[in-house]
């Protein structure tokens, strides 16, 4: 039996009662799973107050089922992107919420709205115009936006993310219309907590993406425009990972810029001074970390598009303070490692026998190297052995111990000079001829670097070579799939950094980070883990690789199709949660239910998968119920 006590909620708060399900906890009298209720407050910057009026058995932290009580009306309701339905408001809702006269008389279904929106999208001629349309849709109506993109994900993903989002970020100040996200100014570092407080407290935020705008999508320093990459990344967390769009927070560090074009632009909206570095910068970052830990202790912190060394240092410095993730380092590496694992399964080769040449030893290349090492270590190798299987090249050639100016991370992968006597280490062909690698990865942004001679040398030593030209945009690819397949007689296993059409019926997989970071993030949120460990990322890799369609048909790609991203993310999240529980870092089971017991998560994979899927937010209109004020709901079970 459920009893409810209500009292008025303070203005500006969203009240949500959350029900956790445990397949292992049952009621002795009914032999049915118990449902426990957890109620908390979400403060919103737009003054929304709402509560779940109908609590159903699978209502949980991220998903919402049943009617929603709302005290907004008229234009205020239409301007709320979480609650706005546009032409889909029913007659009853239009009357109750004083919308008569504010909307055309025709009532549309969500399907009809999506059809109209897609026609409008298709009418636009340029990618940037389409990006503007999507931005406008997202800040007007979250449900319609995410359902539109979900149905057309392959076509629209390049518009709302790379490569088009890079153009939108570069033009941020000139095309600015409406502020989104949290702007933290290094000249006012003591106000960090106050600025974050606008977005709530404690359990109000599940996922934070933060950037300082220095290394945006391959276009470099974009200063305060970096807020848009945080917004875009969170959009993918919702689209692909089912994170509730009202429980995320994009943040940008406004620490100046070294982009002269921005510094000389009178319309630039960020701090107009050279980028702050050193002790002052790290003091600012530390204040941010401590403020987040205090205000949002359960949130996952995602670092995005920082500088080459900054992002790496930040991840390893704070990963034990807050559950932290860096997509440039871990996400890219994880999806590449999943492609490698799928290729090894298809060719019946062993992980620890794998040899890799990485052409391009910047942050992406070294991040890939790190994840290969972490994955090998998770499967029994020593770090030293794992690193010995990886050979990295930069613009000077193979990284050797004698090279001056190499970064500390590059030196971890440096080859011994004595092992390369008599070999031209500046020649990719000669390096491949000596190493005889299983995998060739390109992160160099040197178009055409994988020449016919390079690929044929790979093929000479390996009947089914894995070749991954990952540089973006497409014009900077090291080689094109059609050429790689021609030079290997259609025997290469290819994954690319951008989408390509099939070649002679062979599907070309895109090494898209969307296959990894949304699932890892969802798993971290639902497990309430204290840290995202290397083994949790490795579990994500193995689960993604297990979904490879290549084993079913040799002409299939190494990775699933984008249209399957919901299922992929749910399975990846499940693997991450189970690994966190195994390591003892999950806090979700320490959360008490109102009946005094604790939340329980199923340990069997398929049952845990259903638990995960039941919690993923979905773009569906919920009925709205008009109230004069939204009550604070305290629910307990007796």
Question: Is residue 355 a contact partner of residue 439, using CB atoms and an 8 Å limit?
Answer: yes
- 590 vs 22, which has greater pLDDT? 590
What is the average per-residue pLDDT within 505-531? 97
Residue 55 pLDDT greater than 70, yes or no: no
Specify which residues 8 forms β-bridges with. Answer: 631
Residue 574 pLDDT greater than 90, yes or no: yes
Residue 54 pLDDT greater than 80, yes or no: no
Active site (annotated) includes residue 161: yes
d(CA 310, CA 303): 10
Closest to 607 (Cα-Cα) out of 581, 583, 628: 581
Burial tier of 185 (Cβ tally within 10 Å: 0-12, 13-18, 19+): middle
512 is in an annotated binding site: yes
pLDDT interval class at 93 (50, 70, 90): very high
Residue 19 pLDDT greater than 80, yes or no: no
DSSP helix/strand/coil, 108: coil
Residue 301 pLDDT greater than 90, yes or no: yes
pLDDT interval class at 392 (50, 70, 90): very high
Residue 605 pLDDT greater than 50, yes or no: yes
Q: What is the DSSP letter of 416?
A: P
What is the average per-residue pLDDT within 381-393? 97
Question: Is residue 305 a contact partner of residue 219, using CB atoms and an 8 Å limit?
Answer: no
Catalytic residue among 85, 233, 535, 550: 233
- The reported pLDDT for the residue numbered 404 is 85
Question: Is residue 82 a contact partner of residue 245, using CB atoms and an 8 Å limit?
Answer: yes
Question: Is residue 464 a contact partner of residue 342, using CB atoms and an 8 Å limit?
Answer: no
65-104 burial, b at 16+ Cβ within 10 Å, e below that, comes to: beebbbbbeeeebbebbbbbbbbbbeeebbebbebeeeee
Percent of the chain residues topping a pLDDT of 70:
88
What is the average per-residue pLDDT within 597-604? 89
What is the average per-residue pLDDT within 73-93? 96
What is the average per-residue pLDDT within 166-195? 96
HSE-CB at 584 with a 13 A cutoff on CA atoms is: 0
511 is in an annotated binding site: no
Instruction: State the pairing for strand pair 68-70/207-211.
Output: unpaired
DSSP helix/strand/coil, 591: coil
pLDDT interval class at 596 (50, 70, 90): confident
328 is in an annotated binding site: yes
- The reported pLDDT for the residue numbered 285 is 98
Residue 123: Cβ within 10 Å count: 10
Percent of the chain residues topping a pLDDT of 90:
79
CATH of domain 330-512: 3.40.50.720
Residue 56 pLDDT greater than 50, yes or no: no
What is the average per-residue pLDDT within 536-554? 97
Question: Which backbone phi and psi does 285 adopt, to 5 degrees?
Answer: -60, -45
CA distances 75 to 64, 83, 97, 423, Å, are 24, 12, 10, 72
pLDDT interval class at 17 (50, 70, 90): very low
Catalytic residue among 146, 161, 268, 506: 161
What is the average per-residue pLDDT within 421-439? 97
Question: Which backbone phi and psi does 533 adopt, to 5 degrees?
Answer: -80, 165
Residue 11 pLDDT greater than 70, yes or no: no
d(CA 155, CA 134): 13
- Segments of the chain assigned to CATH 3.40.50.720: 330-512
Q: What is the mean pLDDT of the chain?
A: 88
What is the average per-residue pLDDT within 618-624? 94
- The reported pLDDT for the residue numbered 628 is 80
- 322 vs 67, which has greater pLDDT? 322
Specify which residues 394 forms β-bridges with. Answer: 397
Residue 101 pLDDT greater than 80, yes or no: yes
What is the average per-residue pLDDT within 517-546? 97
Question: Is residue 57 a contact partner of residue 38, using CB atoms and an 8 Å limit?
Answer: no
What is the average per-residue pLDDT within 308-326? 93
- The reported pLDDT for the residue numbered 7 is 36
Task: Specify the range with the lowest mean pLDDT, choosing from 211-225, 370-384, 414-428, 483-497.
Answer: 211-225
pLDDT interval class at 591 (50, 70, 90): confident
d(CA 513, CA 423): 36
Residue 34: Cβ within 10 Å count: 19
What is the average per-residue pLDDT within 323-342? 96
- The reported pLDDT for the residue numbered 590 is 86
- Segments of the chain assigned to CATH 3.40.50.10380: 161-322
Structurally, at CATH architecture level, domain 161-322 sits in: 3-Layer(aba) Sandwich (3.40)
Task: Specify the range with the lowest mean pLDDT, choosing from 46-60, 324-338, 418-432.
Answer: 46-60
Query: Which contiguous run of DSSP H or E holds residue 151?
Result: helix 142-151
Residue 69 pLDDT greater than 90, yes or no: no
pLDDT interval class at 26 (50, 70, 90): very low
d(CA 234, CA 518): 9
DSSP helix/strand/coil, 347: helix
CA distances 351 to 288, 296, 380, 546, Å, are 40, 39, 10, 14
């Amino acid at each position: 039996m459920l009893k409810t006590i209500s009292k008025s909620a303070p203005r500006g708060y969203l009240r949500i009662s959350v029900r956790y399900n445990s397949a292992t906890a049952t009621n002795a009298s009914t032999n049915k799973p118990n449902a426990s209720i957890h109620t908390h407050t979400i403060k919103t910057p737009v003054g929304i107050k709402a509560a779940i009026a109908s609590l159903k058995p699978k209502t949980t932290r991220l998903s919402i089922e049943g009617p929603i009580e709302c005290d907004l009306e008229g234009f205020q309701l239409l301007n709320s992107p979480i609650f706005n339905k546009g032409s889909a408001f029913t007659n009853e809702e239009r009357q109750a919420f004083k919308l008569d006269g504010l909307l055309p008389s025709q009532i549309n279904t969500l399907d009809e709205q999506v059809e109209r929106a897609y026609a409008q999208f298709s009418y636009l001629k340029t990618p940037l115009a389409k990006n503007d349309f999507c931005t406008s849709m997202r800040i007007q109506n979250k449900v319609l936006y995410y359902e539109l993109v979900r149905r057309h994900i392959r076509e629209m993903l390049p518009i709302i993310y790379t490569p088009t989002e890079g153009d939108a970020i570069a033009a941020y100040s000139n095309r600015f219309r409406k502020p989104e996200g949290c702007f933290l100014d290094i000249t006012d570092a003591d106000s960090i907590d106050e600025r974050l407080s606008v977005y709530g407290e404690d359990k109000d935020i599940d996922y934070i993406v933060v950037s300082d705008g220095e290394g945006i999508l391959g276009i470099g320093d974009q200063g305060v425009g970096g807020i848009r990459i945080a917004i875009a990344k969170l959009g993918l967390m919702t689209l692909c990972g089912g994170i509730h769009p009202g429980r995320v927070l994009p943040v940008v560090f406004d620490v100046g810029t070294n982009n002269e074009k921005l510094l000389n632009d009178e319309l630039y909206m960020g701090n107009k001074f050279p980028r702050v570095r050193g002790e002052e910068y790290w003091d600012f970052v530390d204040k941010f970390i401590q403020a987040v830990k205090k205000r949002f202790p359960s949130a996952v912190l995602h670092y995005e598009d920082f500088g080459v060394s900054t992002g790496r240092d930040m991840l390893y410095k704070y990963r034990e303070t807050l559950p932290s993730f860096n997509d440039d380092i871990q996400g890219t590496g994880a999806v590449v490692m999943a492609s490698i694992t799928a290729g090894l399964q298809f060719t019946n080769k062993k992980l620890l026998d794998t040899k890799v040449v990485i052409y391009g030893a910047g942050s992406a290349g070294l991040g890939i190297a790190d994840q290969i090492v972490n994955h090998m270590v998770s499967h029994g190798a020593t770090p030293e052995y794992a690193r010995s299987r990886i050979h990295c090249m930069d613009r000077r050639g193979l990284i050797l111990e004698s090279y001056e100016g190499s970064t500390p991370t590059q030196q971890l992968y440096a080859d011994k000079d004595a092992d390369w006597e008599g070999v031209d280490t500046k020649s990719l062909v000669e390096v491949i001829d000596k190493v005889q690698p299983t995998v060739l990865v390109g992160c160099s942004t040197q178009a055409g670097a994988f020449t016919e001679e390079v690929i044929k040398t790979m093929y000479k030593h390996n009947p089914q070579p894995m070749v991954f030209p990952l540089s973006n945009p497409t014009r900077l690819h090291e080689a094109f799939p059609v050429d790689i397949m021609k030079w290997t007689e259609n025997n290469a296993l290819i994954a690319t950094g951008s989408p390509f059409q099939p070649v002679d019926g062979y599907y070309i997989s895109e090494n898209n980070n969307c296959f990894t970071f949304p699932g890892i993030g969802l798993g971290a949120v639902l497990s309430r883990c204290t840290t995202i460990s290397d083994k949790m990322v490795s579990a994500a890799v193995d689960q993604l690789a297990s979904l490879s369609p290549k084993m079913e048909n040799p002409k299939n790609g190494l990775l699933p199709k984008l249209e399957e991203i919901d299922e992929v993310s749910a399975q990846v999240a499940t693997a991450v949660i189970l690994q966190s529980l195994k390591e003892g870092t999950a806090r979700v089971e320490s959360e008490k239910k109102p009946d005094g017991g604790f939340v329980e998560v199923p340990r069997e994979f398929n049952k845990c998968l259903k638990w995960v899927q039941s919690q993923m937010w979905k773009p569906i209109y919920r009925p709205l119920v008009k109230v004069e004020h939204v009550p604070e709901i305290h629910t307990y079970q007796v």
